[in-house]
Amino acid sequence: MPQRYPVIIITGTPGTGKSTHAQLLQDASPVPLKHINVGQLVKDNSFHHGFDEQWQSYTVDEDKLLDELEPLASAGGIILDWHTCEIFPERWADLVVVLRCNHTILWERLEKRNYPLKKIQENNEAEIMEVVLQEARDSYPQQIIVDLKSESSQDLENNVANIVEWINQWLKDNVHEDEDDDTLSSDRTVPASR
């Protein structure tokens, strides 16, 4: 059986640094990981029912999206980068990283993106109320969830280093030599997050 690498979900309120973390993690990972920006995938492949003008976002066709992602998640070796995580089946995730940010910093980041005021307010309220963190807690085993502060370049650097450390531990815990034929195999056991 070929080696399987972990599936890492990086989630958080828009503006918390998900794509930046995912790209840097892809570059720093000791194993090949493919960064999938789920929002971009939805737009590029029309996995949506159209654009909602009121909320300034696409209404996602979850069935089409999950059908596309299922074989990739089953194979492993991906980073799923999206503002929500509860859509992804529990069986896919080896690690769920929820990025958190002070609401004042988040407000400034969203203003720089030229988000409409209503969308800035909505996302800020979601961050204050820990909506994404709660979605993760409601959807996945607690031992695979980690919430990380994402307010500075130092946070970014530390977070990526910690996730790389987690990957190295995951590899030690999930890859072993088969006593009969010296081939590598993996199982779904997940070490506790740090």
Binding residues for ATP, as ranges, are: 15, 17-20, 113
Residue ranges at the known binding site? 15, 17-20, 113
- For residues 127 and 100, is the Cβ–Cβ distance under 8 A? yes
Measured from the Cβ of residue 18, the count of other Cβ atoms closer than 10 Å reads 27
User: What is the radius of gyration, based on Cα positions, of the chain?
Assistant: 17
Sequence-ordered strand ranges (E) for the chain: 5-12, 34-37, 48-52, 57-60, 76-82, 95-100, 145-149, 175-177, 184-186
Find where tokens 């958190």 sit: 100
Nearest to 47 by CA among 19, 70, 26, 25: 70
